[in-house]
Amino acid sequence: MKFFVDTAEIDAIKELHALGMVDGVTTNPSLIMKSGRDIKDVTKEICDLVDGPVSAETVALDAEGMIAEGRELAKIAENIAIKVPLTWAGLKACKVLTDEGRMVNVTLCFSANQALLAAKAGATFISPFIGRLDDLNLDGMELIADIREIYDNYGFQTNILAASIRSANHMSDCAKIGADVATAPPAVIKAMANHVLTDKGLDAFMADWAKTGQSIL
């Protein structure tokens, strides 16, 4: 499973990239707002750092507007994936932009039917939002499993990009189901390294080591 980082914070991307944890980046209008940066400037900086796909989201609500914005965003770098919402207009824009050979990430997906339509429209990535479904007492992970089954039934090439990830457990569950990519905030990716027994074991080793009076260097 590929790891994308869901952030527009350059320092966080750099830290994870140095460990080989960044296969791509996703941004959205809220993350751009949080960064306090100009969308083109910050996206260019991210694209210079990361070789994999960097999603930049359109904000028009009509297909023509999304297509124009998508073409403009694609000028930033070769590795831009244009993000469009899963509306009828977004599907139209997806078809036009993918026919032009561009990567398109169809976002705000909350049902298997929506994911089926995105695949038919040629989407490079479909972004089902797990956390926002869980927030409503629905099962976000079941949606990932349903989309996996449907795409496998028919050999769709669209990559399942599990989004709205809130916990380390979401990451391992996505990997078990077979999501192609999971995009998570930097804190969630770092939290995957945590285990209470690792901490406990390390404390015990350090206490015993201190009793030996030795040093390695």
Q: Could you list the beta-strand ranges (E) of 163-202.
A: 181-184
- Please list the active-site residues: 83
The only residue of 26, 58, 98, 114 in contact with ligand E4P, by rule CB under 6 A: 26
For the bound state, the minimum distance from the C-beta of residue 208 to ligand E4P, rounded and expressed in Å, comes to 42
CB 17 within 8 A of CB 27: no
C-alpha torsion sign, points 197, 199, 204, 206: positive
For the bound state, the minimum distance from the C-beta of residue 110 to ligand E4P, rounded and expressed in Å, comes to 11
Q: Any alpha helices (H) in 75-185, and if so which ranges?
A: 88-99, 112-120, 130-134, 140-154, 168-177
- 108 dihedral zone (left: phi>0; alpha: psi -120 to 50; beta): left
Crossing angle (nearest 10°) for helices 39-49 and 10-17: 10
The only residue of 58, 79, 98, 183 in contact with ligand E4P, by rule CB under 6 A: 183
The only residue of 107, 114, 158, 159 in contact with ligand E4P, by rule CB under 6 A: 107
The only residue of 28, 43, 79, 124 in contact with ligand E4P, by rule CB under 6 A: 28
**Which of the residues 138 through 177 are near ligand E4P (CB under 6 A)?**
163-164
Q: 106 pairs with which residues across the strands?
A: 84, 126
Query: Does the protein bind ligand E4P through residue 6 (CB under 6 A)?
Result: yes
Query: Does the protein bind ligand E4P through residue 9 (CB under 6 A)?
Result: no
With contacts defined by CB under 6 A, how many residues of the chain interact with ligand E4P? 11
- Residues forming the site for ligand E4P (CB under 6 A): 6, 26, 28, 107, 127, 129, 131-132, 163-164, 183
